[in-house]
Amino acid sequence: MHAADQGASATASEADREAVTELLGRTPGGRFKVVVRDDSGQPVVIRNHPLLDNGRPMPTLYWLVGRSLRSRVGTLESTGGVRDAEAACDPEELAAAHDRYEAERDAEIPPEHGGPRPSAGVGGTRVGVKCLHAHYAWFLAGGDDPVGRWVHERLADTDGSDRA
């Protein structure tokens, strides 16, 4: 896997829009950019604009779209991974990660925007862990996320690699 340029001002190419639509099973509701790709160039993580096309807030800045990783993280979640990750991570380090994520996302909101805004940190939460997928997506995109790091270690333990 490799990370791409993180700048949110760019938008997805038509090929990326088609690939992400296929991966998600629906058309994305707002602007995004592919920021992590697998070795074959397929999207793994997208970076969403914090406002959807209809103006609704999008709290999830980074979204895990790679099919294999989404499935593997889903399996980890279904076996108690959210609870385990929250117990394993230092609460102060996690709170600081939420604050960094929120600041990064909010920096992309135009200053003149007067409507609803996304709130909170990773996955739209202020405290603890809500979604391993959101934490891992940010980690893969280069975010300093203790939960994403925890997920990465668990996935590497299950197969000895970090393949997409």
Q: Over the stretch 86-127, which tens digit does the pLDDT of each residue have?
A: 999 999 999 999 999 999 999 999 999 999 999 999 989 988
d(CA 43, CA 21): 11
Kindly report, residue by residue over 35-80, the tens digit of the pLDDT.
999 999 999 999 999 999 999 999 899 999 999 999 999 999 999 9
Written as one letter, the residue type at 118 is P
**pTM (predicted TM-score):** 0.91
Q: What is the pLDDT of residue 111?
A: 92
The 3-class SS string of the chain reads CEECCCCCCCCCCHHHHHHHHHHHCCCCCCCEEEEEECCCCCEEEEEECCECCCCCECCCCEEECCHHHHHHHHHHHHCCHHHHHHHHCCHHHHHHHHHHHHHHHHCCCCCCCCCCCCCCCHHHCCCCCCCHHHHHHHHHCCCCCHHHHHHHHHHHHHHCCCCC
The answer to whether the beta carbons of residues 33 and 13 sit under 8 Å apart is no
Tell me what pLDDT residue 14 has: 93
**52 vs 56: CA distance, rounded Å:** 5
The pLDDT value recorded for residue 24 is 95
pLDDT score at 1 = 77
pLDDT in tens, 1-29: 767 655 555 688 999 999 999 999 999 99
pLDDT for residue 158? 81
CA pair distance 117, 136, nearest whole angstrom = 23
Average pLDDT taken over every residue of the chain: 91
* Residues in contact with 121: Cβ distance below 8 Å, sequence separation at least 6, in sequence order: 97, 98, 99, 100, 101, 102
- Dist. CA 3–CA 9, nearest whole Å: 16
